[in-house]
Structure 1
Amino acid sequence: MSNDLCFLSATELRARIARKEVSPVEVVSAVLARAEALQPELNCFITLCGDEAMAAAREAERKVMVGEPLGLLHGLPVTVKDIVNTRGVKTTFGAVPYRDNVPTEDAVAVAKLRAEGAILIGKTTTPEFGSKCLTDSPLFGRTRNAWSAERSSGGSSGGAAVAV
């Protein structure tokens, strides 16, 4: 069942979490396992936030079990492109000068995702400053198309597209 969770829609996962048919821990664990397995071949993440994501998933599960109000994205794993600031998680913009940049605040979009209960599982690759039609960068190399190594994964959101 766990790998099957990776192929359900966000709407279906959220409904199953609310009905206690599946836990946020199961969902995040399944998604992280799949991401870790495919990363060496596809190179679509600059980082995976395994420990942080699992801690957030356990907290999300606790809220479900005690009946706390749940956000619209409660327990759902999400990724964020590497040109969007994420508090405490490296944001490099795919560029060498920012290789060690770790923001102290979330971008507004990320803060809103988290406020609704989304769980950050990782940052996806982007070309330098998101400025090319191919997803490769001097920091992380080329992101591969999930369907064909002969094809591009796309432009600045290539890592995000492949991660889906």
Structure 2
Amino acid sequence: MNTQAGMQDSLETYFERSVEIEITNESRDVTLHSPRSYCFSGHSLLPPSPRIPPGSKESCLFTKGRYSFRGSVGLLVYNSDAFTLAIMFSNPFDYNLYCVEFGLEICPDKEHLGDMEEVYARMYNYMPANSCTTFKKAKLGQCQEALVVTAGNIRVMATMSNA
């Protein structure tokens, strides 16, 4: 048996339906900190960085469970002194039944500090938080859509691909 081919197959199986989130902090004075995550299905393989200071870039990786018939679906929340940022992601196991989706929300009054499962369910079902007017969600289709949310002088842009 070809060991290299076997390892390649194993890696592809393990990383299938993964979601990598890369955050670049282009602000001058906002540090993202104290990340929390919730996985409806799958798990965090590479955990989020505890801090993302101005001028830096960090990434984390969520993936489905090995041999699982569910995808990588969940929520990542970062805090700052002025707001919370929530990123909802869904890379399902079965593309015939579900779409690849992602969502962004910025809340000024720490709306995302509650129960993470409730925040995820609200965002997944297209329901913005009461205090947040900066919620956007997209399904990945033929063309890649960029989501942009703005709150005051904070602007967050996100894209997702199924590459």
Q: TM-score, length-normalised on structure 1?
A: 0.31
Higher strand share: 2
Higher helix share: 1
Greater length-normalized contact order (CA 8 Å, ≥ 6 residues apart): 1
Q: TM-score, length-normalised on structure 2?
A: 0.32
